[in-house]
């Protein structure tokens, strides 16, 4: 039962990426950003008015995708929990920040949805403000994702026996978490590499996050399916 549940959660990672590609990339056109930061308020509002239906559908799928991301994170926490003993501090840190990060993204989708709710029926400056807020929430609130990735890395590196993941992957996870920090550039820049359409604040952060998800999906799948694998909860249940 535990193995089946973990496999279900592990495969939520690739499913998250697929849903994200359909919802955020294809339908909502957030990647690459269809709405440009240099546009006027009227131009921004007109785009929302012209793409309301597909944009909303894309946001629904985006919310579903991040629900799967949260599910995937539970599989990572279950893996490290097996080795932490009675006080699984790093596992708790993972779970809390994973949940907070998911909540942030769902709020982001809600903000974008409000921008698309009455386009051209409200002040275009309000629509533009909501669009700006959505991007600042998406890219600027990196702290929960950074702490989540660092906590996963620390759970691996502080295991002095036989880590559930390879020790090198702990360093990779910490480096990935630190790599999310440039997303805060959107709080300061409207153009260039640190703007919301920039190579660093947008593309670097999201490609790195996707690679992190795929890497730990593979490592977790290898753990759960390897011959002779039994987790501590199974042993306790058998006893």
CB 105 within 8 A of CB 30: no
Q: How confident is the model at residue 85 (pLDDT cuts 50, 70, 90)?
A: confident
CA distance 114 to 222: 42
Residues 134-171 have pLDDT tens digits of 999 999 989 999 999 999 999 999 998 888 899 999 99
Residues 21-67 have pLDDT tens digits of 999 999 999 999 999 999 999 999 999 999 999 999 999 999 999 99
Q: In the structure encoding, which two tokens stand for residue 211, read together?
A: 């690679």
- The overall longest dimension of the chain from CA atoms, in Å, is 67
Q: How confident is the model at residue 234 (pLDDT cuts 50, 70, 90)?
A: very low
Average pLDDT over residues 4-26: 94
Say whether 223 sits in a helix, a strand or coil. Answer: helix
CB 25 within 8 A of CB 222: no
Average pLDDT over residues 105-128: 95
Question: Helices 2-20 and 205-225 meet at what angle, rounded to 10?
Answer: 160
CA distance 216 to 49: 40
């Amino acid at each position: 039962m535990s193995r089946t549940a973990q496999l279900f959660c592990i495969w939520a990672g690739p499913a998250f990426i697929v849903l994200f590609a359909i919802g955020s990339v294809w339908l909502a056109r957030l990647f690459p950003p269809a709405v440009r930061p240099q546009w006027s308020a009227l131009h921004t509002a007109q785009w929302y008015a012209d793409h309301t239906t597909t944009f909303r559908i894309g946001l629904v799928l985006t919310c579903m995708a991040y629900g799967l991301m949260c599910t995937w994170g539970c599989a990572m926490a279950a893996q490290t929990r097996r080795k932490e003993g009675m006080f699984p501090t790093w596992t708790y840190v993972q779970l809390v920040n994973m949940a907070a990060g998911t909540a942030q993204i769902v709020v982001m989708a809600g903000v974008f949805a409000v921008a698309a709710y009455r386009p051209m029926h409200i002040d275009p400056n309000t629509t533009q403000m909501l669009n700006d807020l959505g991007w600042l929430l998406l890219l600027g609130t990196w702290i929960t994702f950074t702490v989540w990735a660092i906590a996963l890395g620390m759970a691996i590196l502080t295991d002095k026996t036989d880590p559930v993941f390879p020790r090198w992957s702990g360093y990779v996870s910490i480096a990935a978490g630190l790599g999310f920090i440039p997303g805060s550039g959107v709080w300061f820049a409207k153009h260039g590499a640190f703007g919301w359409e920039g190579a660093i604040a947008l593309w670097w952060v999201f490609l790195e996050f996707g690679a992190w998800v795929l890497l730990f999906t593979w490592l977790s799948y290898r753990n759960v399916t390897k011959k002779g694998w039994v987790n501590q909860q199974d042993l306790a249940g058998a006893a």
